[in-house]
């Protein structure tokens, strides 16, 4: 099967079980400064799993776009990808184990037509210290399901993952593991959970590719072995308990199901190949690269390069579509790193053509667009096409210059006789060198590299970036002070003024607002003229002087879209949204007069109640206008 077929079958199957299909959230989390990217299917649904009612009901299903930056260094084996789709279905206080496990088993064996003999499952062994019982209910359900297929499912107690390498399979089909493998809570294992935190056991399903066990991973094979024989394809989390103040666990009044299944992994199982890069998600890209490089994917000297290019460009394509642009910090740094690593490996394959607009990396991105735009409309359309195409090509060209500059720095460092962890981190963060390139160059010169020290330095760098991200308030605001609030409302006026002066193609692509200045990133391909900048300033100050009311309204998303309310490119919004309109004079909460408003935007606030309050901080001035990426400009403005 193809990934599109598997996804469609999954959504249709759970629709038949009375689930409502909800859209994927953006890769850029909304109002969650704790993480750079959406990294799991349940992440956008945490409020609802914790008790908030969902507007679509108690049975939900979707395929969620996910990205895990920590997996970048893992890319090259047959199972890890940075970007992936997580198939998910949720019960919010509705059904539980006796419905969930049979449904997923039916989906795998009847819809995807996997051989049940190839399926192995796990359950929670219990935690005596915390008085949490063994999940015998899940094990019994699994025994019955396998029995209906004529399979006698032996139950085996494993314990820890380390115990698995000692005990082995023992003829088992259902395996009990400890809390580190089969328990879920945001805090981890039961003893780490604070009072009031919900959690519960989970039950994983593994597909057996029947490949030989590699003893370098351990003496015996078991479902959680990393040798490659078994591939986890789905995990049902049963949010069943809540921790009490005295440390004990009680049953939740409403028990939830949170299921996550790797789309690429289930597709790999459907074709009987443990290599997720053999699925159609990557096949066309690999064939393109193989054709133009003259190198074979199954040539072990080049397999890793094929996989890195396929993975990284697919991830980059989705990032661009969700509004991320290459930069030296936070999400932009990750995007830049992906493209540059892909460029390094394109060079290894002999397909590097950074001086050609339709480079191999650009072509790989276009293949991704064609494959996914039916399921993800944000990839379709001319604007997305140009953003992705130009963004990758410009980054390739820039990287070529960066490499030349960085090589000079590398040679200076190499002259010292070794590459320290600090110097390696400098080359990565400042000059964009992938670590593997540093290691390769050092090896050619017979120099030692301190990889452990490098990892320590990179963790420091990531912590600083993450701390910077956590300081941001939702909507790009640094805080909710009076000065920041005034600049935030001026930001709305600025976006509309840019559209009036430059055209309706202008869309917001990012923002950051502090007490000192506002910053807006917007779609526009040319440097603004002095006259254009002056006219934008004039319009903003005119609207401030008109003393226009600023009205907050709560609307259905579809209704707000019909009004033409502006939204940030790539952002995903809930079914009910907050909208701020500026003007006209006389507008009120009861009668916002949207049709006469100067601007209308999706926004969470805070804002001034009237534009005259902005003027109390001074006159609006544009400090700087510059390019930040292909087709993306940036303005910094102040009130003085």
Residues of the chain below pLDDT 70:
31-34, 352-357, 462-479, 568-572, 629-630
pLDDT value of position 369? 96
pLDDT value of position 630? 66
27 and 137 part of one domain = yes
Could you report the per-residue pLDDT of 241-293, keeping only the tens digit for each?
999 988 899 998 889 999 999 999 999 999 999 999 999 999 999 999 999 99
Q: What's the CATH number where 50 sits?
A: 3.30.930.10
Distance of CA 58 to the CA centre of its chain: 24
Of the residues 470, 505, 532, the one at which a domain ends: 470
The sign of the dihedral angle between the CA atoms of 536, 538, 539, 541 is positive
- Residue 477 carries which DSSP code? B
Of the residues 454, 470, 486, the one at which a domain ends: 470
189 and 303 part of one domain = no
pLDDT value of position 474? 46
* Pairwise CA distance, residues 383 & 370, whole Å: 14
582 and 620 part of one domain = yes
198-208 and 20-21: which strand pairing?
A: unpaired
Residue 549 near residue 300, CB atoms below 8 Å: no
The total domain count for the chain is 3
Give the CA-trace dihedral at 129, 131, 136, 137, to 10 degrees.
Answer: -150
How many Cβ atoms sit within 10 Å of the Cβ of residue 317? 27
Cα→Cα distances 262→18, 319, 321, 332, 492, Å: 22, 19, 21, 26, 40
* Pairwise CA distance, residues 260 & 263, whole Å: 9
pLDDT value of position 409? 87
Q: What's the CATH number where 499 sits?
A: 3.30.980.10
State yes or no: cis peptide before 581, omega within 30 of 0: no
431 and 454 part of one domain = yes
Of the residues 270, 304, 338, the one at which a domain ends: 270
465 and 493 part of one domain = no
480 and 464 part of one domain = no
Element (H or E) spanning 53, and its range? Answer: none
57 and 76 part of one domain = yes
Give the CA-trace dihedral at 470, 472, 475, 479, to 10 degrees.
Answer: 140
49 and 130 part of one domain = yes
Residue 515 near residue 550, CB atoms below 8 Å: no
User: Residue 470 contacts by C-beta under 8 Å, 6 or more apart in sequence?
Assistant: 33, 34
pLDDT value of position 470? 45
pLDDT value of position 328? 74
Q: What are phi and psi of 102, to 5 degrees?
A: -60, -40
92 and 241 part of one domain = yes
397 and 415 part of one domain = yes
Return the residue matching tokens 């003829």: 171
Q: Which residues pair with 632 in a beta bridge?
A: 523, 629
Residue 327 near residue 628, CB atoms below 8 Å: yes
230 and 264 part of one domain = yes
Strand ranges in 230-379 using DSSP code E only, listed in sequence order:
230-243, 249-262
* Pairwise CA distance, residues 259 & 42, whole Å: 8
**Rounded to two decimals, what is the model's pTM?**
0.72
User: Residue 104 contacts by C-beta under 8 Å, 6 or more apart in sequence?
Assistant: 205, 234, 236, 259, 261
Distance of CA 20 to the CA centre of its chain: 22
Q: What is the residue range of 442's domain?
A: 279-470
* Pairwise CA distance, residues 243 & 131, whole Å: 11
* Pairwise CA distance, residues 105 & 239, whole Å: 20
User: Residue 273 contacts by C-beta under 8 Å, 6 or more apart in sequence?
Assistant: 209, 279
pLDDT value of position 571? 62
389 and 406 part of one domain = yes
* Pairwise CA distance, residues 404 & 410, whole Å: 10
């Amino acid at each position: 099967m193809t990934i599109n077929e598997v996804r469609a079958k999954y959504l249709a199957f759970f629709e038949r079980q009375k689930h409502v299909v909800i859209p994927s959230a953006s890769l850029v989390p909304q109002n969650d400064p704790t993480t750079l990217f959406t990294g799991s299917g349940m992440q956008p649904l945490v409020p609802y799993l914790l008790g908030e009612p969902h507007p679509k009901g108690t049975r939900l299903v979707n395929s969620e776009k996910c990205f895990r930056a920590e997996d970048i260094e893992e890319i090259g084996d047959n199972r890890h990808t940075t970007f992936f789709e997580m198939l998910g279905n949720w019960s919010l206080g509705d059904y539980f184990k006796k419905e969930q496990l049979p449904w997923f088993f039916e989906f795998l064996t009847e819809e995807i037509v996997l051989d049940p003999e190839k399926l192995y499952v796990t359950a929670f062994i219990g935690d005596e210290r915390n008085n949490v019982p063994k999940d015998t209910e899940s094990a019994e359900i699994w025994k019955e399901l396998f029995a209906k297929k004529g399979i006698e499912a032996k139950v085996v107690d494993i314990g820890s993952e380390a115990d698995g390498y000692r005990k082995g399979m023992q003829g088992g089909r259902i395996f009990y593991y400890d809390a580190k493998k089969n328990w879920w809570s945001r805090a981890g294992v039961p003893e780490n959970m604070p009072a009031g935190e919900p959690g519960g056991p989970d039950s994983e399903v593994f597909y057996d590719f029947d490949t030989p066990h590699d003893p370098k991973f351990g003496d015996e094979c078991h479902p959680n072995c990393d040798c490659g024989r078994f591939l986890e394809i789905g995990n049902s989390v049963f949010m069943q308990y809540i921790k009490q103040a005295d440390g004990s666990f009680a049953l939740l009044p409403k028990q939830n199901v949170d299921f996550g299944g790797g789309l690429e992994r289930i597709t790999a199982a459907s074709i009987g190949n443990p290599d997720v890069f053999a699925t159609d998600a990557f096949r066309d890209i690999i064939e393109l690269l193989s054709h133009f490089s003259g190198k074979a994917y199954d040539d072990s000297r080049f397999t890793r390069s094929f996989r890195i290019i396929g993975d990284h460009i697919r991830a980059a394509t989705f990032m661009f579509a969700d509004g991320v642009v290459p930069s030296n910090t936070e999400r932009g740094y990750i995007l830049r790193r992906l493209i540059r690593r892909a460029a390094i490996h394109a060079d290894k394959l002999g397909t590097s053509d950074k001086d050609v607009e339709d480079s191999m990396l650009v072509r790989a991105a276009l293949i991704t667009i064609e494959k996914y735009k039916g399921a993800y409309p944000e990839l379709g359309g001319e604007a997305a096409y140009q953003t992705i195409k130009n963004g990758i090509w410009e980054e390739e060209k820039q990287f070529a210059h960066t490499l030349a500059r960085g090589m000079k720095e590398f040679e200076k460092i190499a002259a010292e006789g070794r590459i320290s962890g600090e110097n390696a981190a400098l080359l990565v963060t400042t000059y964009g060198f992938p670590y593997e390139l540093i290691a390769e160059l050092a090896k050619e010169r017979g120099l030692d590299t301190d990889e452990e020290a490098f990892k320590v330095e990179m963790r420091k760098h990531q912590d600083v970036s993450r701390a910077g991200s956590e300081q941001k308030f939702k909507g790009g605001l640094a805080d909710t002070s009076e000065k920041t609030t005034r600049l935030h409302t001026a930001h709305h006026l600025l976006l509309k003024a840019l559209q009036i002066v430059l055209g309706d193609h202008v869309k917001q692509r990012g923002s950051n607002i502090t007490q000192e200045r506002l910053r807006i990133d917007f779609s526009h391909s040319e440097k603004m003229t002095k006259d254009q900048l002056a006219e934008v300033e004039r319009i903003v100050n005119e609207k401030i002087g008109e003393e226009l009311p600023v009205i907050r309204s709560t609307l259905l998303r579809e209704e707000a879209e019909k009004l033409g309310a502006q939204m940030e490119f790539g952002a995903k919004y809930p079914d009910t949204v907050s909208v701020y309109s500026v003007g006209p004079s006389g507008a009120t909460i009861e009668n916002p007069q949207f049709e006469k408003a100067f601007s209308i935007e999706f926004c969470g606030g805070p804002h001034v109640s009237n534009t005259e309050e902005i003027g109390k901080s001074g006159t609006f001035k544009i400090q700087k206008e510059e390019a930040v990426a292909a087709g993306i400009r940036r303005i910094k403005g102040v009130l003085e």
